[in-house]
Chains A and B, each alone.
Chain A
Amino acid sequence: MEKKNEARLELASLSLPAMIYTIAMIGFPFIYTIWMSFHATTAAQQLVFNGLGNYSHLVSDGEFWHGLVVTFYLYFLSLALQLFFGTYLALLLFRSKRLPGIVRSLFISPFLIPGVVTGMMWLVILDPSLGAANYVLTSLGLPASDWLASPTWVVPTIAIIDTWQWAPYVALIVLGGLQSLPPSVYEAAEIDGASRRKVLFRITLPLLLPTIMTATILRSVDLLRFFDLIYITTQGGPANASDTLNIYGFRVGFEFFQFGYASALMVTLSVIVLGAVLILNQLRNAVAW
């Protein structure tokens, strides 16, 4: 009994530093932001308590709802693209076992490059008048696109850029999952003489589902808070076609100085992300094997 207590104490002392640290670092910002969200900010930057005023304003704020729609549109589009291309790339790399390590790392390189850098890089490449992308397209006789400057195409374009950057990350995770699949199932399939396609869709992909769900959770956390790339490229434009919740909240705070309302927006967004993670986590547990 005493020994058990001692062990418990030791376990606590191993995990407590991390817990204390995390709570110390994120506890205050959360409490501060929630507290701020119950206040209005005056022009003189004084806080005035207004209860749930910010939240009731939020419900009637068209730009909030617009931001929510853009956020989820971008989320589903990017997620679908990244899961598809990530899994595809992983299967491709898995089949190419003899690929030298350095070439392999080139395939996963995009997510290692800072988002600031990729944002500015794509801004130059996708410029409708001067960029290389349209130059290549028109040289090949294909129609040019306005990319980030088109209200219809801006969200897909951002999704494409983000997919370029993060599909390799998904691929890395899926590749890990592939390598740990038990060989026995394949041997059985081989004996049955199943076709390659059948093996992929009936065996490999279903077995990969938990791995893909992990990738989904990790990407969801980032995609729902989409910020960096839009901050650098369009700042929510053209007009407000790429105005995600995070970008809108940022602008309300740091450009408009309404930190009370901005806090309410950020709290709401955090709750949305948390909710999504909890739901996805349940889903993952359901498909685990």
Chain B
Amino acid sequence: MRARSFSVPWFTVLNVIQLTIAGIVVITPTLWMVLSSFKPSFEVTAYPPTLIFSPTLENYASLSQTTPFLHYAFNSVLVTVSSTLIGILLGAPAAFVVSWTRITWPAIVSLVARMAPGTLFLLPWYVMFRHFDMIGSYWSLILTHAVITLPIVLWVMLPFFDGIPRSVIEAAQIDGCGPIKIFRRIAVPLVSTGIAVASILAFVFSWNYFLFALVLSNAQTKTLVAASFNFIGEGATNWGGLMAAATLIALPPLILAVVVQRWLVSGLTLGAVKG
């Protein structure tokens, strides 16, 4: 309503101009990458850079020959989806409790993992998982990636639970419902948007993380992002393959973001103010 009073024509024009410039800045690099993926490998670094070229699907076709691309894609999906699930299953109830009791230290503790450099964890985790004979199993990846997803879920969910009117909960308490019952029957259905938003963000961050997989995975369990390093090597650099792989790796998070764009913004709305 307020916005309308400002939408005088000159202002709209100015806005469109700014939006266009911002849009170009944001989208051009990505577009360049996608464009490059359709170039013959040597042309990616050709000079002057070519805008008009005969597009080829060769880079995409060769992906499955040079690497077990589909297998790695499967690994990525498995690890990402599982770690997101664990994040939700553990993080959502914890967020509910933090919101209920106003005791915030569990939320802080969950963030501690994010305050240390990722490399700090590599060696100890390798030692730890080796002790349990879990190196090269999907579990070592799923469990470590859940360390990334859990705090995201917890922090994103927190304001959603805060947003549930106190009266609703009090009414349930009077009916004799305990916290577990309230959580399952009342709170969860009310925060379904929050769960969706948390899942998306957890998915994106887990999908994009490469450091843990670099050390804890092997040829069978390697994820896409960890495998994307393999395109550069002395005498074996394949820029075209790299750009094609990069485009495909970026695709799932992008598609998800487009699909749930509305929720993403409205979800973070709450998260930002009260989280």
Contacts and interface: CB of A to CB of B under 8 A. Distances in A.
B56 interface: no
Contacts of B47: 129-130, 135
B114 A95 contact: no
Contacts of A266: 116-117, 119-120
B246 A117 contact: yes
Interface string B204-234: 1001101000000000000001001100100
Contacts, number: 266
B193 interface: no
Contacts of B111: 221, 277
A19 B273 contact: no
A120 B3 contact: no
A147 to B, nearest CB: 13
Interface of B is mostly: helix
* Chain B interface residue bracket vs A: 35 or more
Determine which residue in B93, B120, B125 has the highest number of CB atoms from chain A within 10 A of its CB, and name it.
B120
B151 to A, nearest CB: 8
* Chain A interface residue bracket vs B: 35 or more
B109 A32 contact: no
B249 interface: yes
A29 B121 contact: yes
A23 interface: yes
B97 to A, nearest CB: 4
B117 A249 contact: yes
Nearest to B207: A114
Interface of B: 1-3, 5-6, 15, 18-19, 22-23, 25-27, 29-30, 32-33, 36, 44-49, 89-91, 93-94, 96-98, 100-101, 106, 109-121, 123-125, 127-128, 143-144, 146-147, 150, 154, 178-180, 183, 204, 207-208, 210, 225, 228-229, 232, 239, 242-243, 246, 249-250, 253-254, 256-258, 261-262, 264-273, 275
The 10 closest A-B pairs by CB, nearest first: A176-B269, A18-B94, A15-B97, A32-B124, A29-B124, A14-B93, A114-B208, A176-B268, A112-B253, A117-B246
